[in-house]
Amino acid sequence: MKSQEGAESIEKGKNVLIRLKFIRHGERDKEGRLTDYGRDVTVRIAKAHAEEAKEFDVVKAIGSDAGEKNGFGKRAFETADLYAKEVAGDEVLRSKVQSVLSYETIISPVPHDYQKLYNDSLPVNFDELSPEEKSAAARVAQRAMLDHLVASDTPEAEAYKREEAGAFAYLVEHYRDMAKRLKDGSKVLIPAGTHGGTMEFLLQQALVRKNDDGSTIVGFKKLDEIGGEFSPSEDYNVDVSTDENGHPAPMRVSFDNPFNNPGRVLPEVAYLDEAIVAELADYYRKLHFSNTE
C-alpha cells in the first residue's frame, strides 16, 4: 500500500503478540550475587526454549537492577540478559534495566525482614554444600519466606503486596499500549528478570483460572494452588496481544515448567483479569507518578 507521498504505509496494531516472560533471577549466594551455577542453569533453560523463541521477530530483555547500589551486581537483569542472548544469539536487541521490576523501588515498607527469614531458614553448613545441595536448601528458605508473606494479612503486608502486584500490572499495561503501535503481525519476546517474593503477587490478585467444570477462580490464597514458589531461573508468561481488528485479546498466562514440577500446571484457560490489572496499574501509577504526570 502506498500513501500519496509514495512512501509505504505500515499497518499497525493488528495480530500483535508480546510475550512477557517474567523470570526469577538465577541461583544466588547469601549476599545476593548470581552464582556460576545460577548462570549455568539459566543457560540450560534457555537452550530448552530455543525453538519457542524462533517464532518471535524480536527478543529484548529487561530486568531489575536491584543489588547494584550495594555492589552485588544486577542478578535479575543478568539472568534475563543471559536468557535472551542464548535464545536469540547475535540477533538479540540490547538489554535494558527496568527498575519497576526491582523490589528496591517499592514505597510501601517491607512487612518483614525477608533477608533474615531467608537466611535463618538455611542450614548452618550452607557454605559447605554442593551447588545442587545449596539450590535445594535455598528453595526451602525461599518457601518459608514467601509462605509467611503470602499468608500475612496485616495492613502493612496487604499494602506491600498490592504495590508489588501494581508494579507488574503497570508493566503489563505499558506493553498493552505498545502492542497498538507495532507493525501488524509483530511477535516480540521480552524476558523480564525479577525476583521471588515480587513476581507472585500479580498472579495472587489477578490470575483467573477456568476449570473444565466451568468454575472460575480468581487469584489464590496459598502458593500450593499454583504449584508452589518459583525456583531460580523459572518463569511465567503473560501474553499481551491483539486480534485481527486490533482489539486487545485476553492476557493469557502460562507456565513453562522447566523443573518438571507436577504441581506447576494451569487449566487450559488461564488469564489475567483486565479490570484488576487496570486497577492495580492505576494504584501503582498514583503512588509513583502522581506528582509527575
Average pLDDT over residues 94-107: 95
For residue 225, pLDDT beyond 80 = yes
Closest CA to 23 of 58, 55, 61: 61
User: Cα dihedral sign for 59, 65, 66, 70?
Assistant: positive
pTM (predicted TM-score) = 0.91
Please answer whether residues 217 and 211 qualify as being in contact, where contact means their C-beta atoms are separated by less than 8 angstroms: yes
For residue 2, pLDDT beyond 50 = no
Closest CA to 183 of 60, 14, 56, 55: 14
For residue 8, pLDDT beyond 70 = no
Each residue's pLDDT tens digit, 245-269? 999 999 999 998 766 677 788 888 8
For residue 7, pLDDT beyond 50 = no
Higher per-residue pLDDT: 218 or 111: 218
Q: What is the pLDDT of residue 292?
A: 54
Q: What is the mean pLDDT of the chain?
A: 90
Each residue's pLDDT tens digit, 165-211? 999 999 999 999 999 999 999 999 999 999 998 999 999 999 999 88
Each residue's pLDDT tens digit, 32-58? 889 999 999 999 999 999 998 999 999
Q: At 243, list the grid cell.
A: 486480534
For residue 15, pLDDT beyond 60 = yes
Closest CA to 219 of 141, 261, 277, 172: 277
For residue 148, pLDDT beyond 90 = no
Q: What is the pLDDT of residue 170?
A: 98
Closest CA to 94 of 84, 104, 102, 86: 84
For residue 1, pLDDT beyond 60 = no
